[in-house]
Each structure stands twice: as C-alpha cells, then as structure tokens.
Amino acid sequence: MFDEMRPEVLVVGAGPVGLFTALALARRNVNVRIIDTGVWACTHSYALAVHPQALDLFAQFGLREKILSESYAVGRIAFCDQEGTRVSLEAGGEQHPLAVVRQDALENLLEDELEKLGVRVGWRHEAAAVAQADDHARVTVQKFEKESRGYIVAHTEWVVDKTWELEPKFVVGADGSNSRVRRTLDTEFPEVGLAQYFAVFEFKTDADLQHTVRVALDGGTMNVLWPLPGGAARWSFELPDYRPSAPDPVEALRKAGFGDFPSERQKDRVMLSHGLDLPVLDEEHLRRYLRERAPWFTGSIEKLTWRIVARFEHRLAKRFGAGRLWLAGDAAHLTGPAGVHSMNLGFWEGDDLAARIESVLRGGAGAETLASYDARWQSVWKQLHGLERVPAAGPQTDGWVAQHAAQILASLPAWGAAYEDMASRLGLITA
C-alpha cells in the first residue's frame, strides 16, 4: 500500500491518460497518488478508440485482451466522398485492430488495475495551488463535499471540506485543456490551427459497418462514421459556419481563472456545447447531413442515444514541463477528432514520463532525462499538427488523395514511424 500523504509523484487528473500514467508509475513501485475534481469517472466523451500502437503498450501491462473484450475491433479506415469509398487502408488489421471502446469502460478498467496495487483515485479533490521548489513540488489539495443549505427552500452546494499540503517530488499534469499544472508552469498554449465544430450523433442502426471507420470528405468538411459496440454508430459532421449563440458558462468561468470544481465529467478531450434544443442536433439535420455528405449510408436510425455539438481546438504547449512539473495528454496538446491522437499519444507520454521519473528517483539520472522528454514529444506533435516533417504528395500520388492530404493525415490513427508508414501507403511521403 502506497502512502497517500507522502507521495513521490502526484498525478492531477483521472482521465484515461492520468489513470494510465499513475498505473505506469505504480507498476514501477513509485509511490503515486492521483486526484481529480470529478465526482466519478466520466459518463460520456468524444474519445473512443485505442490505436493499435497503444494496444501494444497496454499489452506490456497485461491489459490488451481486457480492452479488446470491451471493444468493437476496426480493421480498416476508408476515405470517401459522396459517391462512396475512394481509397482505404488497413488500420491495423484483424490481428492488430483499432479498438473502439467507450471512455468510461476504459477508465473503469484502469481504475480497477490501480486499486489492485493499492492506489485509489481521490475523486472530488482539487489541486488548488501548485508551486515548485528545488527538490520537490508543493501542492495545496482541497476535498469537496456536498452541504445542505437554505431554510425555506433546501438545496445542496459543493463546499471545501478539507484542505492539506502535499510535497511530492514530481507533479504530472494530466488535467486537461484548462490544466492548472500547465498554468503554474506559465507556458504558452497557443492555437496551431483553427478550431472546428462538429454535430455528433449516436444511434442504433441495422447497417453492416464492416469493421471500418469511414471518413467522408465533402465540400471542405470532414465527417466521420465510427462503428460502436452493440450495433450502434456515431456520426460526426463538421459545421464550418457554426457559431454558438452564447458561450458555455462553465468554460467561460474556467477560462477566466476561477478554477475547477466537482462535476460529473461529461468529457475531457473537447469543449462540448450541451443543449438538445439546438437546431443542428435535430433528426431532420442528421438526415440532411447524410443525404448531402454521405448518401451511400443507408442504414436505419432507430434510436438517437446521444447528441451534442463538440468544439475541437488545435493547440500545442510551448513546453511539456520543467523542474518538478510535467504534462501529458490534453494538458499539453489538443487536436481534431478523427485520429484520436491526443488520448492515444497521452498513454505513451505517461509511460515515457513514468520511466524517466523512476530513473531520476531510483537510478540517479539527472535533469537532462526529463528535458529530453520535452524535446521528443514536441517533435512528434509538430509533425501531427502539420508544422514539421509533413508527409506530402508526389508525382505518383492519386489526385484525390493529394487534394485531401491534410484531412487524410489528420485522420490516421498512428504516430511516429507507424504514422509515416500509413501515410506512405497512400502515396504521401515524408521528405
């Protein structure tokens, strides 16, 4: 059992990346604690697919088959226009699939694995203040509880129940796009591409989805069909001209610096605009999007189970950490929906960071070990964001692929050498 009051590493954020990072640390016998402002694991989110590369990583932890048992296995990715498929390629194949799995199932699995090692998630815990000294970090932790208030009309509010200080050797910020750890680092988090809005629909269907993700490119828009476990499908339609009528009040408060507070964690990966009364989310719009952008989809729409407008930002932190504070996942980068890159690379970042921290704590490694973490992942993300070493069309590249190269590259479920190999099979070569 690890000592919760004297952790060597505090992980802030218990989404998939934070949970996996904590597990990677615990498996290395590093005394780790993990906290999250949420009331419990998320109930719904956009992120829903584990890359073949990430499954290889999970296999090292004995979790690959457990994830696959909860998943719909995807073997191919097809790029389409209104007429149908124009080009497709293996996304991993039958023996090495892309695993479509709901985030809550993934989080529950990781939380269970942590509990087996004696690590419990501190739900309703906020890192209210973070600072760093020469050889440790200082974190003020607040625990929230509900309190009944009111005399004539009773109601409940979240209030701070307890406050205490921790002094871990390191803090890992896996605390999402509004990361307090990143803000403490005072590092820029600039946009490196335009934000995108998507109307997202999930429904039961009789369509034979053939273990294939389909990316429909039409009129400059990217539209994605994900097959889901249990005979369901998710369609995401890009809304190039969409502007919300009013800002999300919760996100506005957070952006203004008013901090975090307990929630039911509807998401981690994207900013979501709720409201089923939005016209773009009615069934008539769903059917119109299908007629206009993917008339080849003839499956039934039997029951709409989830509808939402999602806003995806494209951002990259100027640095992934310094000293005693380090970042992984959405705290360091945000990107578009099709490639599910932010979560999947976050797993690799968390494992990499855990190994480097262990080498500092146990092996006497120096500060350069962590500095090279920043350099490595900056390079990877600059390629995925189309800033450096971007695969490009050549004389032999199919014309349709060349025309849609940027959208196709953003949809490839891979990174590094695997990403470049997948791109090359479509005729897109890294110079």
Domains, the chain: 9-74+99-192+246-267+314-429 (3.50.50.60)
State how far the Cα of 122 lies from the Cα of 166, in Å rounded to an integer. Answer: 13
State how far the Cα of 267 lies from the Cα of 46, in Å rounded to an integer. Answer: 7
More confident residue, 235 or 363: 235
Average pLDDT in the 104-125 region?
Answer: 95
Average pLDDT in the 125-129 region?
Answer: 94
pLDDT band at 96 (very low <50, low <70, confident <90, very high): confident
pLDDT tens readout for residues 129-186: 999 999 999 999 999 887 655 455 555 667 888 999 999 999 999 999 999 999 999 9
pLDDT at 374 over 80: yes
Return the residue matching tokens 């310094």. Answer: 322
* CA proximity to 260, closest of 47, 17, 4, 14: 14
pLDDT at 267: 43
Q: What is the pTM of this model?
A: 0.91
pLDDT tens readout for residues 51-88: 999 999 999 999 999 999 999 999 999 999 999 999 99
Using alpha carbons, list the distances in angstroms from residue 260 to 49, 142, 144, 183, 252. Answer: 27, 11, 11, 13, 12
Return the residue matching tokens 């004696």. Answer: 118
For CA atoms 185, 186, 188, 189, the dihedral sign is: positive
Residue 427 CB: number of other CB atoms within 10 A?
A: 18
Return the residue matching tokens 């190994």. Answer: 355
pLDDT at 269: 37
pLDDT at 199: 95
State how far the Cα of 321 lies from the Cα of 171, in Å rounded to an integer. Answer: 10
292 neighbors 250 (Cβ within 8 angstroms):
no
Beta-strand pair 232-238/191-204: antiparallel
pLDDT at 258: 43
pLDDT at 94: 72
pLDDT tens readout for residues 261-315: 444 444 443 444 555 567 889 999 999 999 999 999 999 999 899 999 999 999 9
Average pLDDT in the 230-236 region?
Answer: 94
pLDDT at 46: 67
What is the overall mean pLDDT for the chain? Answer: 89
pLDDT band at 112 (very low <50, low <70, confident <90, very high): very high
pLDDT at 335 over 70: yes
Average pLDDT in the 215-228 region?
Answer: 96
| Token pair belonging to 184 | 């403490």
Residue 263 sits at φ, ψ, to 5 deg, of -150, 175
| Token pair belonging to 340 | 């599910």
Average pLDDT in the 18-29 region?
Answer: 98
Average pLDDT in the 241-252 region?
Answer: 64
Q: Give 32-80 as a DSSP string.
A: EEEEESSSSS-S--S--EE-HHHHHHHHTTT-HHHHHHTSEEE-EEEEE
% pLDDT > 90, the chain? 77
Using alpha carbons, list the distances in angstroms from residue 220 to 146, 306, 384. Answer: 47, 25, 19
% pLDDT > 70, the chain? 87
Q: CA angle at residue 253 from 323 to 278, to 5 degrees?
A: 125
Using alpha carbons, list the distances in angstroms from residue 73 to 20, 92, 280, 311, 312. Answer: 21, 10, 30, 27, 25
State how far the Cα of 167 lies from the Cα of 10, in Å rounded to an integer. Answer: 9
pLDDT at 2 over 70: no
pLDDT at 98 over 60: yes
Provide the 3-class DSSP secondary structure of residue 112.
helix
More confident residue, 92 or 248: 92
Residue 347 CB: number of other CB atoms within 10 A?
A: 25
